[in-house]
Amino acid sequence: MTRHSKFGNRTSARSSQSRRDLRNGLLFASPWLVNLVVFIAYPIAASLYYSLCSYDALRPPRWIGLENYRVLFTQDALFWQSLGNTLYMVAFGLPVGVVVSLGIALLMNQKLAGMAVYRTIYYLPSITPVVATSILWLWLLNPEMGLVNALLAKVGIEGPGWMASPDWSKPALILMGLWGAGGGMVIYLAGLQDVPTQLYEAASLDGASRLAQFRHVTLPMLSPVILFNLIMGLIGSFQYFTQVYVMTRGEGRPQGSTLVYALHLFNSAFLDFRMGYACAMAWVLFVVTLLCALAVFRSSARWVYYGGETR
């Protein structure tokens, strides 16, 4: 056998083995690929198409172009109201949640006896079903016989109307959201325990106070974790739905003050059967969320520090 034929046989064998490896790899990955195409890629493409159609899920879609978007921006007053309510939750609820979660994590990072028990207690509310939590808080925030106003009355403070008041309904939702701060606390706690102790020792030898150590050591080292929680909280805030739906029975009361964007989208799709219009709303929500996330990522270059990088 010539040298050329040996080389040809070897190349053919490698080619056959590569094809078998590719086939086997695709077979093993096929469940994920089917899930990607059928349950993710197709619904996304279909929603974009339906957003350009008049569609009620009962009759075939009828192409109308950008009409849904025109009505959305120029004729739907509830669109702007619901978007404003959602941006309120993002602008005020998200920072409060980040600060409270970080504060709890700092407390739970202390080396004290029984700390594991306290960490568990603070984490448990975050895994409580949202529906059960919403019903519980609806009772706690009852302006007449709720526990919160009863405790305020003990110290001589007249409690507000909470969910019955247009001015206090959104702060009530933010207060209720702090109940689940334990989820973010766990992530911050993992980040805090990853901060090298020698950095604190060096700062202490330089005469840095506890506050200075927190500002110049803890926050920079924890900034990637803060960025992660901020992005996840941003996405979750724009999708805020279940609590309002349960507590207001899908009406966004009082006076539309809790009509968040996702609730308006849900009502448009499943109460008014305007599926094409709801798809248009979903794409607007996607674009707004994407722009906000990109703005956060763009700003992160100025305040996020990754260990090992030089500045």
Which pLDDT tens digit goes with each residue over 75-133?
999 999 999 999 999 999 999 999 999 999 999 998 888 888 999 999 999 898 999 99
pTM of the model: 0.87
pLDDT score for 89: 95
The torsion defined by the Cα of 209, 213, 214 and 217, in degrees rounded to 10, comes to 170
Query: How many residues are there in the chain?
Result: 311
Alpha-carbon distance of 124 to 209, in angstroms, equals 33
Q: Which residue's entry shows tokens 């689940």?
A: 180
pLDDT score for 111: 85
**Residue 17 predicted with pLDDT over 90:** no
Which residues lie closer than 8 Å to 106 by C-beta, 6 or more apart? Answer: 188, 192, 214, 218
pLDDT digits (tens, 9 = 90+) for 36-78: 999 999 999 999 999 999 999 889 999 999 999 999 999 999 9
**Residue 211 predicted with pLDDT over 60:** yes
Residue 53 dihedral angles phi and psi, to the nearest 5° = -130, 160
Confirm if 149 and 143 have CB atoms less than 8 A apart. yes
